[in-house]
Chains A and B, each alone.
Chain A
Amino acid sequence: MIRFDNVGLRYGSGPEILRDVTFHVLPGSFHFLTGPSGAGKTTLLRLLFMSLRPSRGLIFVFGENVTNLSASGRSALRRRIGIVFQDFRLLDHLTTWENVALPLRVMGKRESDYKEDVTDLLRWVGLGDRINAYPEILSGGEKQRAAIARAVIGRPELLLADEPTGNVDPAIGNRLLRLFVELNRLGTSVIIATHDYGLMEQLDAPRLVLFDGHLQMR
């Protein structure tokens, strides 16, 4: 599903942030991506999500070499990936419901076909009473859950999450992890970038550990 071959990345003429990163992600797998702050977790996720191009090496996403992929090709692959950003990236002028429904709207689906699904998912992540609220009045944890709901609403084949439990209390964090596990059981591959050891302890999943620009599988 995902293959990195000797991938290196540097910004401009600066030092390499990632060096010789090589790993495979199989369909239906579950991985934690961890490492100290500044180790390059977010950068690796951005490479996976094709919002950065590697300085060297090859990246294959769903079997396609993404190095020279067209804008249209990238869009098609991104529709198969859900991503949760650390800073949520919710649109302030849309309600919670509209933010979560955005990927389906972009796919050209009719509102009547997904109306109930979006509402059900929002209830499931504990935002049933915040459906018509705008992001600016949501708490950090609520924004996090809305961002996760937006990432999973399209039933992606691959879910990437950057510190998804960073802004929620342990109870909600556990609930979100259960959501990720449930999605994984349904066939979605999941990569969660986190340095929350408590979260990682709850699940026996392989860990991709980034340290000093190198990646190790543990």
Chain B
Amino acid sequence: MTFLSDIRDYPWTSLLTGLLPARIVNLLPARFQTRAAQIVPSASIAGNALTVVIAIMSFLACLTAGAVYMVNQSANAWVNDIASEITVELDPINTADIEKKMTLVSLFLAKQQGITRVKPLTADDSAKLLEPWLGQTSALAALPIPRLIAVEIDRSNPPDIQLIKTALTQNFEGVTLDDHRRWQAEIKTVTRTAALGGLVVLSLVAAATIAVIVSATRSAMASNREIIEVLHFVGAKERFISREFERHFLGLGVRAGLMGALAAALAFLLLPLMMHMLGGGVVTEAETSRLIGSGELDVWGYLLCLLVALAVAGICMITSRLGVIRVLKSYA
């Protein structure tokens, strides 16, 4: 409840004016121009260097959060895609008429319950799938490339995959069914690893931010020791004194956090262009786009960046508050 009342009582108008240059503030309506002077002068709290450091922390945190979100979105789309399909693979070796066998297997599959579409891939289609890795070469025609049949399944009424698998093995030689489960599991592992890595990076950024703010708070209190003493003499409680400091750090955190988030948003906006320019060849481009999709962040991704920036501001405020109260207790 104390936290809620702090938010309610916070001089938000002074924060707004703190974000704007003085000449613009002078043009604002009177209610936005705070008359009460700052008890702890902002010049004694933090210089531009601290703002830049926190902005860089926010940038790194937003970049990490956005990248993890992007990988997660891309993986989800991929999993959804492959979960609604199964692939039947026909081994061309020891098969006299592969085209006839493709037709027979396709017809067999089309009769099964829970299958909505059967699409046999031509030899050219199969070759194209290998192109990113092997290149455009006529040698592909000479290779015994397995032939594929893409089978779309009805996810609301899925077929008995095991039953189809058994039936295919019994009726056709050299035919296997891949239900993509192994791929799904691998994608999920990659996504989880990326999320865990992102969490570790975010934790490190948060720890670094806390360390910087703790140091800055101590330094600010040392340089404002006389003001703290006077505040004590006029009956100020610890909470009042800590609020005087934390409002500066919250303002700093909001400014620096937004700067970092804006820089990260710009980086995400330019990412598709960068991917295109620095693609590094067909294979790399194919692998990168498989991992992070088109490289575009959606609205929720940008909102996540904003949330991260606000979290950075919150860390600045709470850390400075705890730091001030701790130092005040040591004075007592």
Contact = CB atoms under 8 A, between A and B. Distances in A.
Contact of B234 (A78, A93, A111): A78
A154 B238 CA distance: 19
B328 A78 contact: no
Nearest to A150: B234
B39 A71 contact: no
A72 B235 contact: no
B282 to A, nearest CB: 64
Interface stretch (A19-27, A98-106, A210-218): A98-106
A76 B234 contact: no
B235 A71 contact: no
B234 A71 contact: no
A1 B240 CA distance: 27
Interface string A104-122: 0111000100000000000
Contacts of A98: 36-37
Nearest to A77: B235
B235 A91 contact: no
Contact of B39 (A49, A83, A102, A107): A102
B236 A75 contact: yes
Interface stretch (B93-101, B223-231, B257-265): B223-231
Contacts of A76: 235
A94 interface: yes
Interface string A62-105: 00000000011001101101010100010101110010001101
Interface in B223-279: 226-227, 229-238, 240
A51 interface: yes
A94 B40 CA distance: 10
B233 A79 contact: no
A38 B232 CA distance: 25
B329 interface: yes
Contacts of B227: 91
A28 B285 CA distance: 87
Contacts of A51: 232-233
B240 A71 contact: no
B158 interface: no
B41 A93 contact: yes
B33 to A, nearest CB: 13
A93 B42 CA distance: 11
Q: How large is the interface on B (under 10, 10 to 19, 20 to 34, 35 or more residues)?
A: 20 to 34
A75 B35 contact: no
B54 to A, nearest CB: 24
Contact of A106 (B38, B41, B226, B235): B235
A43 to B, nearest CB: 16
B332 interface: yes
Contact of A71 (B229, B230, B328): B328
Contacts of A94: 37, 39
B167 to A, nearest CB: 79
Nearest to A80: B235
Contacts of A105: 36, 39
B229 A78 contact: no
A45 to B, nearest CB: 11
A91 B233 contact: no
Contact of A107 (B232, B235, B332): B235
Contacts of B41: 93
A184 B232 CA distance: 24
Contacts of A81: 235
A163 B328 CA distance: 29
A111 B36 contact: yes
Contact of B35 (A83, A111, A154): A111
Nearest to B234: A103
Given A71-B238, A71-B328, A91-B39, A78 B232 contact: yes
> Most chain-B CB neighbours within 10 Å: which of A49, A75, A78, A102?
A75
Nearest to B233: A83
9 contacts: A51-B233, A78-B234, A85-B233, A91-B39, A103-B234, A103-B235, A106-B235, A107-B235, A111-B36
- List the 7 shortest-distance A-B pairs measured between CB atoms, nearest first: A79-B235, A78-B235, A103-B234, A106-B236, A75-B237, A93-B41, A71-B332
Interface of B: 35-39, 41, 226-227, 229-238, 240, 328-329, 332
Given A71-B237, A94-B39, 20 more contacts: A51-B232, A71-B238, A72-B238, A75-B238, A85-B233, A89-B226, A89-B229, A93-B37, A93-B41, A94-B37, A95-B37, A98-B36, A102-B234, A103-B234, A106-B231, A106-B234, A106-B235, A107-B235, A111-B35, A154-B235
